Structure 1
Amino acid sequence: MKIKVLFAAWVCAGLMQAPAYAKGDAANGQALATQGDGSGAPCAACHGANGEGMAAGTFPRIAGLDADYALRQMVAFQQGKRVNPAMTMNIDNFNQQQLADLAAYFATLPVAAPAAATASQAQLELGKKLALQGDWDNYLPPCASCHGPNNQGVDGNFPGIAGQHASYLKQQLQAWQQGQRQSDPVQLMEAIAKRLSPEQIDAVAAYLASQPAAPQQ
């Protein structure tokens, strides 16, 4: 119980530091997504025509993602707190209002059904336990303790991760492990990811990818 209380306090401290950003215009965001920023490719080149992402290229699903969260991530790419050369190149000429418009647009898009699971039943069961129950003895809270019921996301602080591509989830957990993401004020995910084994990362990514997702807005 003490571990859970300390974890909740840690999360709250991080949320108090989260910046607030402007609201976006979804109609303008749709136009910007099609046009690109003038120097890079349109969003669909990586994220698909409907924001569904591309598992083979580890490009995430962004359809239905909370607009505030999506905006914060794009700002993080521009500021170098998240590193992905393709992403940075394709949004570096957008101002913050334009980024807010893009985020608002993708938040309105419907979420596609998850792909059929290819993992073993044992792997999915391990992933389910980590996602929904955690492993408190080893200081691993369940994903749902932050990402909400069924991991559908909680406002702009914690994204929906159910239905996200397993390849992307695995990539990002590894990035947190290696300290390559600096967009979290308290680096909560880094601390958690560093406690996960490769087997656990594969399992939780496979399980979450197999679960249906819902738009966060």
Structure 2
Amino acid sequence: MANFPVDPRPFHPPEFITMDGDANRRARARIHLALGQETHREDFVIAMDMEGVVQPADAGMWVNHIRDYLQNDLRLHVLSCFDHPFGLEIFEMGSLLQKDTLISCDIFNVEGTLVRFISPNRACNFREVEKDGFLMLGFPVTLMNDICIHQDMASFGKLLHWHNIPRIKSYVLVKCLYRSFNDVPRSIVLSQGDDSSSLGCF
């Protein structure tokens, strides 16, 4: 806690456990905020051949099999599909709910081949990652918004959800994906123009 000299325990939600890591954990991360950027809806999923049995020459045939499976068996709406270097094909689904439904499921058996659907931003380095909650203590009240918190988490992982509790202004509680706990900094310095502020990550 030397980089952020505040005891987080009085702010802990019930059942929240603090882990400080070891000497290899990053001491600090610095994020330069780019405000005003809009996030775009992405209703795309990439179909992955989990067994690696589909040959490149047969990929076109399997695209039709997968599209028929999505539309006829799962009753989902496929708007379009395109070739993609990190999977069999990338599919544009009819809604964000349909995309989330596919991603939240495990593995589908399509014509005897095991297929999994993943988000495009995970396709390049697809592998299992850690998922945990973090308490960002001392987060500036004026920066408690989706864009700033997404950029904050991007310094070591990917934000899944943040608990927007209007009555709490002392911390931000988030859930995110990350590769290693040692990549999670103990403190984070946020800078916006000439102004900067520090917050603790527990």
Using the size of structure 1 for normalisation, the TM-score is 0.27
Larger RCO: 1 or 2 (CA < 8 Å, sep 6+) = 2
Q: Which has the higher helix share?
A: 1
Using the size of structure 2 for normalisation, the TM-score is 0.29
Q: Which has the higher strand share?
A: 2
The structure that has the greater radius of gyration is 2
